[in-house]
Amino acid sequence: MDTNLARRRVWDLPTRLFHWMLVVCVTGAFVTVKLGGLWMDWHIRLGLCTLGLIVFRLIWGFVGPHYARFAQFISGPRGVWRYITAKGSHVAGHSPLGAVSVIALLACFGFQAFSGLFANDDVLSSGPLAFLSEDWSAALTRLHKLNQWLLIVLAAIHVAAILWYRYARHQDLIGPMIHGDIRVPDAAPGRIETVQDTWPLRFKAFGLATIIAMGIWWLTTLAPAGESFY
pLDDT of residue 188 exceeding 70: no
* Interval 126-138 mean pLDDT: 93
Distance of CA 167 to the CA centre of its chain: 24
pLDDT of residue 1 exceeding 50: no
pLDDT of residue 194: 82
**DSSP string over 84-137:** HHSTT---SSS-HHHHHHHHHHHHHHHHHHHHHTT-B-SSS-B-TTGGG-HHHH
What proportion of the chain, given as a percentage, has pLDDT over 70?
Answer: 91
Please state, in angstroms and as integers, the Cα–Cα distance from residue 36 to each residue in 10, 189, 201, following that order. Answer: 40, 52, 40
pLDDT of residue 228: 55
Q: What are phi and psi of 9, to 5 degrees?
A: -80, 120
pLDDT of residue 229 exceeding 70: no
CA distance 100 to 96: 7
User: Do strands 181-185 and 5-9 pair parallel, antiparallel, or not at all (unpaired)?
Assistant: antiparallel
Segment 111-120, tens digit of pLDDT: 999 999 999 9
Three-state DSSP at 205 gives helix
Nearest to 180 by CA among 15, 3, 31: 15
Angle at Cα 32 formed by Cα 26 and Cα 35, nearest 5°?
Answer: 145
* Interval 214-222 mean pLDDT: 94
Angle at Cα 137 formed by Cα 121 and Cα 139, nearest 5°?
Answer: 100
pLDDT of residue 87: 58
pLDDT of residue 30 exceeding 90: yes
pLDDT of residue 186: 60
Q: What global pTM score does this model have? A: 0.91
CA distance 158 to 163: 9
How many other CB atoms sit within 10 Å of the CB of residue 66? Answer: 16
Residue 230: pLDDT band (50, 70, 90) is low
**E-state strands within the chain:** 5-9, 181-185
Averaged confidence pLDDT in the chain: 89
Radius of gyration of the chain (CA): 20
Segment 47-77, tens digit of pLDDT: 999 999 999 999 999 999 999 999 998 888 8
